């Protein structure tokens, strides 16, 4: 059975801290791993990772995939209160564009 696991499920940090969110997966026919940020409503796309070892960066956010260990991390440096959200990890399968989501990590950044 395909599954995506995220840890921690919730996290509280102070502004300026650096956080690392974890995502592991057991999925057949893996194509890509996706990270989303969900604030109040719909998730917004952050990164798509297809190849191992290549870091993707966008401002203070970065992510990397390890296809051997079936693992990805999302790093956020110098956190701000606006980073408070649920971060979803998802795996895109090669067949039928099916996407399997993890439960999400709820991040709260306090001043």
Partner 1 sequence: DGGITQSPKYLFRKEGQNVTLSCEQNLNHDAMYWYRQDPGQGLRLIYYSQIVNDFQKGDIAEGYSVSREKKESFPLTVTSAQKNPTAFYLCASSSAAGVSNEQFFGPGTRLTVL
Smallest CA-to-CA distance from 67 within 102, 26, 6, 95 is with 26
Nearest approach, Cβ of 100 to partner 1 (angstroms)? 8
Interface residues toward partner 1, by CB under 8 A: 4, 9, 32, 34, 41-45, 48, 88, 90, 92, 94-104
Nearest approach, Cβ of 70 to partner 1 (angstroms)? 18
Closer CB to partner 1, 15 or 39, in the complex = 39
CB environment 67-106: b (16+ within 10 A), e (fewer) = eeebbbbbebeebeeebbbbbbbbbbbeeeeeebebebbb
Closer CB to partner 1, 50 or 75, in the complex = 50
């Amino acid at each position: 059975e395909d599954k995506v696991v995220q840890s921690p499920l919730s996290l509280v940090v102070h502004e300026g801290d650096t956080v690392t969110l974890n995502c592991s997966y057991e999925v057949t026919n893996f194509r890509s791993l996706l990270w989303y940020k969900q604030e109040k409503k719909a998730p917004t796309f952050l990164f798509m990772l297809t190849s191992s070892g290549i870091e993707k960066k966008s401002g203070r956010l970065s992510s990397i995939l390890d296809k051997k260990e079936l693992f990805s991390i999302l790093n956020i440096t110098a956190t701000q209160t606006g980073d408070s959200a649920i971060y979803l990890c998802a795996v895109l399968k090669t067949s039928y564009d099916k996407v399997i989501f993890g439960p999400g990590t709820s991040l709260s950044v306090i001043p």
